[in-house]
Amino acid sequence: MAIDETASVVDSTLGDVEIREYVTVHDSRIGSGSRVYERTSIKKSVVAGPADVNANCYVENARLGERVQVGPNASVVGVTHDRSETGMEFRNDTFGEVVIEDGAFVGAGAVVLPGVTVGENAVVGAGTTVADDVERGTVVRADASTASRSL
């Protein structure tokens, strides 16, 4: 596998991986057999591998299991900001690790918020924002009337 010359890898450990154009990897570990596609940023995360993180994704403070697939334009965001009476606390990050278990799939444009666990072989449908844990083998979609079903 290969790492493109335009990729930026800082303070990270990479197995035998494919890292495409304009990817940034900071303070992370990416396991062998993983592929990270164009214009993706991975920070403070562990990708067990093999796994695929598609183009234009943002992954921070997350743990991705084996055979995980993250669709294009998805965000797996384990960081937020506290709010006080005066509003958001500027530049004061609050972390809540996101866990994407083995075999799970996060669809295109989906957002997984801090502290969420997506269970083994679960599916987060395209365009869905997930604020609560997703049980293993469950499908969640953006349309609340079809929120989930078991596989």
Question: Residue 1: what pLDDT?
Answer: 76
Q: Is residue 11 part of a domain?
A: no
Mind listing the pLDDT tens digit for each residue in 61-72?
999 999 999 999
In the annotation, is 26 catalytic?
no
Kindly indicate the confidence band of residue 111, based on its pLDDT and cuts at 50, 70 and 90. very high
DSSP string, the chain: --B-TT-EEES-EE-S-EE-TT-EEES-EE-TT-EE-TT-EEES-EE-SSEEE-TT-EEESEEE-TTEEE-TT-EEE-EEEEEETTEEEEEEEEE--EEE-TT-EE-TT-EE-TT-EE-TT-EE-TT-EE-S-B-TTEEE-SSGGG-EEE-
Q: Among residues 1, 4, 6, 81, which one is catalytic?
A: 81
pLDDT: which is higher, 79 or 14: 14
Q: Is residue 32 part of a domain?
A: no
Q: Is residue 61 part of a domain?
A: yes
pTM of the model: 0.91
Q: Is residue 48 part of a domain?
A: yes
Total domains present in the chain:
1
How much is the average pLDDT of 57-61? Answer: 98
- What range does the domain containing 127 cover? 44-84+91-150
